């Protein structure tokens, strides 16, 4: 890899050398570790990491962002033509089709427009298109990668959002404010030419809802990320939900689905949960939409329970000592493990899961008992994501065996109640 040259003509002369250099040194840390991808250096301070899920380019040189053409200009006569879609979703064509491509080009002195705004900190450019609006994808595709990419700047970084959804920025404002002290720049609405002393285009991605600490600038773990989220939402991440008080019934928060993977015997389940000793609160997607109100509710509960789905991403707000209990539908073992079980373990959380058997799935009444849908889900998965999604994600509901499920609830109770 070529040595990266740093030049700073866009920074005001009255700023100290330390103020100018420190953020730029932090840019080089992003290039450490490729997480299964490959890295190319284009010279002139531009290096890019191509990962199976995301592309990220680091510019350690002055750069001009022209929103009108979605182009970043570098001051060089060298021929550069690198396009990046700044969203971690390369494996999903339908998601990437909604992401605005950003072009990095070399510019002659008379090609790039004059700077309208001079910034003294680097920029990080990312998109809120793709699968955003799904809580799991919000965190997995954007927020965890954004944390990996920017946390070590200690808020001295400018966030630039393409395909900006105002409601998304509002929803995650506590997180964005904890990553940057500057107001978010809307790439399309702010048409001025912004000049930066360095830039990150795209977000560094490691794995599903996870980090590789050895490849993060400061060795960040998922426990660090969870603590960061708790702090951003002003939750007391050191407080264990109160179950020690006399006559206090521990609270179970039940995520109630209304379209797919619905609990068909939900009322009977709730009655049984109460018999086991839980105070039960039932929440739907509408109630979970306002995170600034809902996150404290999650932090105060003892058990978060739901069928595999995006709502379980609220486990990030659980307090120490609480339990995530995931009901694993038929055919969704891999996703349940990779999206929630393993991340929960990485964050040191208490985790339980209940695997349904074919008789507990609505698919049992749609297919013969010996059909691969019921007996060998891998055969269905081998036919492609769209096929398996239609069957297992969108096409089944659940009727739990209450006697068998009761045993898992008792386990959860034993985990959260103090040992005599």
Q: Which long-range contacts (CB under 8 A, 24 or more apart) does 309-313 make?
A: 309/136, 309/255, 309/257, 309/260, 309/261, 310/134, 310/135, 310/136, 310/137, 311/135, 311/255, 311/257, 311/285, 312/136, 312/255, 312/339, 312/340, 313/135, 313/136, 313/138, 313/139, 313/140, 313/209
Last residue within a domain, chosen from 199, 220, 241: 220
Is 244 among the domain residues? no
pLDDT range class, residue 242, cuts 50, 70, 90 = low
Which pLDDT tens digit goes with each residue over 178-212? 999 999 999 989 989 999 999 999 999 999 999 99
Is 54 among the domain residues? yes
Is 227 among the domain residues? no
Asked if residue 293 and residue 207 are part of one domain, the reply reads no
Asked if residue 80 and residue 123 are part of one domain, the reply reads yes
Q: 50 pLDDT exceeds 80? A: yes
Q: What is residue 274's predicted lDDT score, i.e. its pLDDT?
A: 97
Last residue within a domain, chosen from 203, 220, 237: 220
Asked if residue 213 and residue 301 are part of one domain, the reply reads no
For 236-265, what is the mean pLDDT?
78
Task: Please check whether residue 224 is in contact with residue 233, taking contact to mean a CB–CB distance below 8 angstroms.
Answer: no
Last residue within a domain, chosen from 220, 242, 270: 220
Paired tokens of 35: 């997480």
Asked if residue 260 and residue 177 are part of one domain, the reply reads no
Q: 420 pLDDT exceeds 60? A: no
Is 240 among the domain residues? no
Query: Reading across the β-sheet that carries 199-201, which strands appear in turn?
Result: 38-43, 46-50, 55-59, 199-201, 123-127, 158-162, 185-186
Q: Taking all residues of the chain, what is their mean pLDDT, rounded to a whole number?
A: 89
List, in order, residues 6 or more apart from 327 with CB less than 8 Å away.
Answer: 263, 305, 306, 307, 308, 353, 354, 356, 398, 400
Per the structure, the complete domain to which residue 214 belongs is given by 17-220
Task: Please check whether residue 7 is in contact with residue 61, taking contact to mean a CB–CB distance below 8 angstroms.
Answer: yes
Q: What is residue 107's predicted lDDT score, i.e. its pLDDT?
A: 77
HSE, CB side, 13 Å, CA atoms: give it for residue 243. 26
Which pLDDT tens digit goes with each residue over 308-348? 999 999 999 999 999 999 999 999 999 999 999 999 999 99
Asked if residue 150 and residue 22 are part of one domain, the reply reads yes
Asked if residue 385 and residue 258 are part of one domain, the reply reads yes
Asked if residue 175 and residue 117 are part of one domain, the reply reads yes
Q: What is residue 418's predicted lDDT score, i.e. its pLDDT?
A: 67
The label of the residue with tokens 């939402």 reads 233
Task: Please check whether residue 160 is in contact with residue 69, taking contact to mean a CB–CB distance below 8 angstroms.
Answer: no
Lowest mean pLDDT among 207-211, 285-289, 291-295, 299-303: 285-289
**What CATH number is given to the structural domain containing 330?**
3.40.50.2300
Total number of domains constituting the chain = 2
Asked if residue 285 and residue 186 are part of one domain, the reply reads no
Is 95 among the domain residues? yes
Asked if residue 286 and residue 183 are part of one domain, the reply reads no
For 116-125, what is the mean pLDDT?
95
Encode 30-56: b = buried (16+ Cβ within 10 Å), e = exposed.
bbebebebeeeebbbbbbbbebebbbb
Asked if residue 191 and residue 63 are part of one domain, the reply reads yes
Is 226 among the domain residues? no
Nearest alpha-carbon partner for 362 in 373, 354, 370:
373
Asked if residue 121 and residue 258 are part of one domain, the reply reads no
Is 274 among the domain residues? yes
Task: Please check whether residue 203 is in contact with residue 159, taking contact to mean a CB–CB distance below 8 angstroms.
Answer: no
- Angle subtended by helix axes 266-276 and 402-416, to nearest 10: 40
Asked if residue 257 and residue 174 are part of one domain, the reply reads no
| Number of neighbouring beta carbons within 10 Å of residue 394 | 10
Paired tokens of 210: 């996870």
Is 232 among the domain residues? no
Which pLDDT tens digit goes with each residue over 217-238? 889 999 999 999 999 999 975 5
């Amino acid at each position: 890899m070529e040595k990266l040259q740093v030049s700073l003509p866009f920074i005001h002369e009255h700023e100290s050398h330390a103020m100018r250099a420190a953020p730029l040194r932090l840019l080089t840390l992003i290039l450490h570790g490729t997480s299964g991808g490959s890295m190319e250096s284009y010279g002139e301070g531009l290096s890019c990491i191509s990962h199976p899920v995301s592309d990220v380019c680091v510019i350690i040189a002055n750069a001009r962002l022209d929103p009108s053409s979605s182009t970043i200009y570098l001051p060089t006569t060298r021929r550069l033509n690198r396009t990046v879609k700044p969203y971690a979703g390369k494996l999903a064509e339908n998601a990437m089709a909604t992401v605005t491509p950003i072009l990095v080009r070399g510019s002659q002195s008379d090609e790039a427009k004059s700077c309208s705004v001079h910034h003294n900190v680097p920029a990080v450019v990312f998109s809120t298109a793709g699968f955003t609006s799904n809580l799991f994808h919000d965190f997995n595709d954007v927020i965890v990668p954004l944390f990996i990419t920017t946390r070590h700047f200690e808020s001295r970084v400018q966030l630039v959002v393409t395909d900006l959804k105002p409601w998304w920025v509002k929803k995650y404002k506590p997180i964005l404010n904890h990553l940057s002290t500057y107001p978010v720049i809307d790439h399309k609405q702010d048409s001025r030419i912004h000049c930066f002393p360095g830039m990150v285009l795209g977000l560094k991605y490691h794995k599903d809802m996870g980090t590789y600490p050895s490849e993060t600038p400061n060795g960040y773990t998922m426990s660090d990320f969870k603590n960061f989220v708790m702090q951003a939402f002003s939750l007391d991440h050191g407080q264990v939900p109160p179950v020690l008080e006399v006559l206090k019934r521990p609270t179970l928060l039940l995520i109630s689905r209304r379209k797919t993977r619905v609990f068909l015997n939900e009322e009977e389940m709730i009655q049984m949960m109460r018999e086991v000793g839980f105070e039960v609160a039932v929440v739907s997607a509408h109630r979970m939409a306002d995170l600034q109100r809902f996150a404290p509710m999650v932090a105060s509960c003892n058990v978060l329970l739901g069928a595999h789905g995006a709502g379980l991403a609220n486990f990030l707000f659980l307090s120490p000592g609480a339990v995530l209990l995931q009901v694993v539908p038929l055919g969704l073992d891999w996703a349940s493990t990779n999206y929630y079980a393993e991340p929960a373990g990485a964050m040191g959380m208490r985790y339980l899961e209940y695997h349904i058997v074919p008789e507990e799935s609505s698919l049992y009444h749609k297919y013969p008992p010996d059909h691969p849908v019921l007996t060998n889900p891998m055969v269905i998965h081998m036919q492609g994501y769209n096929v398996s999604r239609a069957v297992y994600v969108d096409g089944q509901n659940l009727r739990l065996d209450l006697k068998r499920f009761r045993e898992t609830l008792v386990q959860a109770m034993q985990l959260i109640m103090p040992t005599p």
